[in-house]
Chain A
Amino acid sequence: MHDHKECKECMQFLALLSDYQDGELDLALVGKFEVHMGDCERCQAVVKTLRQTIVYYRTTRCTAVPRDVHSGLITALRACMDPED
């Protein structure tokens, strides 16, 4: 296994990791990096763990507001809509 920290290709790849992850990398570069990854288990691991990190955080997205928080919001809005009430 080559030295990941000293490898120019690894460094070049890691700088463009987000673009690769988002599918926004030039196709020629994608091909180049996928060839590189075929030989570099460390870059493969970085790609996989980055992807999983994003997946984890996506699951933390709030999908519902607690009932008391919603009630407080409605009260605040009613006061704003009908200030004389």
Chain B
Amino acid sequence: MTDHTNPTDTELVARARAGDNDAFGLLVERHEANVYGLCIKMLRNPEDAEDCLQEVFVKAYKALPSFREEARFSTWIYRIATNACLMRIRKKKLDTVSLDQPLELGEAEIPRDVADWTTDPASMVMNEELGGVLTKHINALPANNRIVFVLRDVHGLSTEETGDILGLSVPAVKSRLHRARLFLRERLAHYYASGGAVA
């Protein structure tokens, strides 16, 4: 039975395709935080993220007629957002590392800092300083690893969905995710080993 008070994305897409702009507005409200969050993490600054957010939804609105009904709107909008972010990164050369170049983990390949900082009382609190450290570390990841980590571990998408969005095989997603996780874990371990002051 259709719940008119809480229509599904599929129902909203069908209404939007039939010319109901309010239905598209509801889709925007549902998905804008995910898209904006992805753009912020990938583009690293709020102005670019805002421009990209607008670009993504304008593109989606114009491309609605080509939307395949069997697809999920959330996956589709993530795909548009991902492509828009990666295109901007390429154009602006935001990464000094090639998008296709594998992440050089260096010392993170073999975890060196293996102290268990999870029992440190300081690690129990998510504060502004730690938030800044997390941002600094994720920004240090090359875009091709960062996008996989953001989709899988920040946004909680499955490996299969992530592969579908990025056009990558499951093993390729897993490999990039593994390297990104080890890199971030090692950076955070250094942060706590150095007393949590500068990482």
A residues at B contact (CB < 8 Å): 4-5, 11, 14, 17-19, 21-22, 24, 41-42, 44-46, 48-54, 56-66, 69-70, 72-74, 76-77, 80-81
New A-B pairs, 9, CB < 8 Å, besides A56-B188, A69-B49: A17-B178, A18-B174, A19-B174, A49-B114, A49-B118, A49-B189, A62-B36, A63-B33, A73-B54
Q: Are B33 and A54 in contact (CB under 8 A)?
A: no
Count of B interface residues, CB-CB < 8 Å? 50
A-B contact count (CB 8 A): 119
* Interface SS of A by simple majority: helix
Q: Are A81 and B53 in contact (CB under 8 A)?
A: no
A53 to B178 Cα, complex, angstroms: 13
* Interface SS of B by simple majority: helix
A63 to B32 Cα, complex, angstroms: 9
Q: Are B32 and A70 in contact (CB under 8 A)?
A: yes
Most buried by A among B28, B41, B61, B118: B118
Contacts of A11 in B (CB 8 A): 110
Q: Are B53 and A58 in contact (CB under 8 A)?
A: no
Contacts of A74 in B (CB 8 A): 25, 28
CB under 8 Å from chain A, chain B span 33-86: 33-34, 36-37, 40-41, 46, 49-50, 53-54, 57-58, 61-62
Q: Does B156 contact A (CB under 8 A)?
A: yes
> Shortest beta-carbon distance, B125 to chain A, in Å?
11
B residues at A contact (CB < 8 Å): 21, 24-25, 28, 32-34, 36-37, 40-41, 46, 49-50, 53-54, 57-58, 61-62, 110-112, 114-118, 123, 126, 130-131, 134-135, 138, 149, 153-156, 159, 174, 177-178, 181-182, 184-185, 188-189
Contacts of B115 in A (CB 8 A): 45
